Amino acid sequence: MSGRPGGALRRDARAWFAAGVIVLVTAAAVAAPLVARHDPLAIDLNAQLLPPSGAHWLGTDVQGRDVWARLVYGARISLSVGVLSQMIALALGLALGLAAGYYGRWTDELVMRLADVTLAFPTLLLLIALVAALQPSLVVVFLTIGFVGWAAMARLVRGQVLVVRELEFVQASRGLGARDTRVMVRHILPSVIAPVVIAATLGIAAAIMAESSLSFLGLGVQPPTPSWGAMIADARDLAQLRHAPWTSVAPGAAIGLTVLAFNLLGDALRDALDPRGLARARSAPEITQT
């Protein structure tokens, strides 16, 4: 049946492509020890900058480490930072956005001005400053990315809540004597969750980019732990770019493909969950094609 979000998603080629890439990258990250075939940290100075071959599928880097192994282990970093940071952004943004939109007045004023302050900084500069101040590590990186991401999420949630709050079914629940928490969880949250999920999906892509940028600058996960951004940083001298392009092309392609996949999934979700499309499907189910 068309009109149902699941059905729309299933007929969307973008969604299939995105899901395919995300499943592959996730599987590789989870099963890294099985997929890698080499120790990503094993330095072999006799095997520096070897081109791709049967032994080293994507060649070796300047210290003779297997690029494929490092790529696979690097996926763990990228994905966990992407997902964990968005969970933090989502939790903070949902809670604060709901409170701001529902209670209004000074709560709204306070939360939104804090969001303005957060958004006033260029994201990457803010991240660099925070990470530098806090000692770079995996935990610090996803915490800061998540924390910086709360503001956009809170704004989005607040805007949606302002619309839904005045709907009569929300007023009816208040009128029945429901507590604020019940009104928010049972009536408001389900009505605002769709755009939030879309934003979080797009946010994962942005977070992976941010992590790669930080790692590239040496502010991410510290060496020798493999990370895509750090791999590009290691490979960025001219001789390597010219004579051993696999060292930079492989992690670059991995970042590009993964970010593209999450962006496409977000777009596909947006089209499938479009509230207007949804409303149309709900109010006139009898005229939709089966």
Partner 1 sequence: MSAPARPAPLLQVRDLRKHFTRTRGVVRREHEVVRAVDGVSFDVMPGETLGLVGESGCGKTTTGRAILRLVEPTSGSVHFDGRDLLALRGGDLRRMRRRMQIVFQDPFSSLNPRMTVGAIVREGLTIHRLAEGEAADRRVRQLLEEVGLRPEYAGRYPHEFSGGQRQRVGIARALSVEPSFIVCDEPVSALDVSVQAQVVNLLADLRRERQLAYLFIAHDLAVVEHIADRVAVMYLGHIVELARARDLYREPLMPYTRALLSAVPVPDPGAARERIILHGDVPSPAHPPSGCVFHPRCQHPAKDAACTQVVPPLEEKAPGHFAACIKVPAGA
The CB-of-187 to partner 1 minimum distance in angstroms stands at: 6
Q: How far apart are CA 20 and CA 1, in angstroms?
A: 23
Q: How far is the CB of 78 from partner 1 (least distance, A)?
A: 35
Cβ proximity to partner 1: between 141 and 196 the closer is 196
The minimum distance between CB 121 and partner 1, in angstroms, equals: 22
CA–CA distance, 220 with 214 (Å, rounded to integer): 5
Minimum Å distance from CB 256 to partner 1? 38
Crossing angle (nearest 10°) for helices 275-283 and 246-273:
30
Give the shortest CB-188-to-partner 1 separation in angstroms.
10
Please identify which residue in the block is written with the tokens 């969950």: 273
Please list the helix, strand and coil fractions of the chain in percent, rounded to the nearest 5, in that order.
75, 0, 25
The CB-of-86 to partner 1 minimum distance in angstroms stands at: 24
**Of the two residues 270 and 280, which places its CB atom closer to partner 1 in the complex?**
280
Q: What 3 state SS string does 124-140 have?
A: HHHHHHHHHHHCCCHHH
DSSP 66: B
CB nearer partner 1, residue 176 or residue 239:
176
Closest to partner 1 by CB, 135 or 288? 288
Q: Which is nearer to partner 1, 152 or 192 (CB)?
A: 192
Please state the φ and ψ torsions of residue 60, each to the nearest 5 degrees.
-125, 160
Q: Report the C-alpha gap between 16 and 171 in whole angstroms.
A: 40
54 or 177, CB closer to partner 1?
Answer: 177
Which runs of E-coded beta strand occur in 81-213? Answer: none
CA distance 274 to 250: 36
Kindly list the residues in this chain that would bind partner 1 in the complex (CB under 8 A): 167-169, 171-179, 182, 186-187, 190-191, 282-283, 285
When the beta carbons of 36 and 192 are compared against partner 1, the nearer one is 192
CB of 109 to partner 1, least distance (A): 12
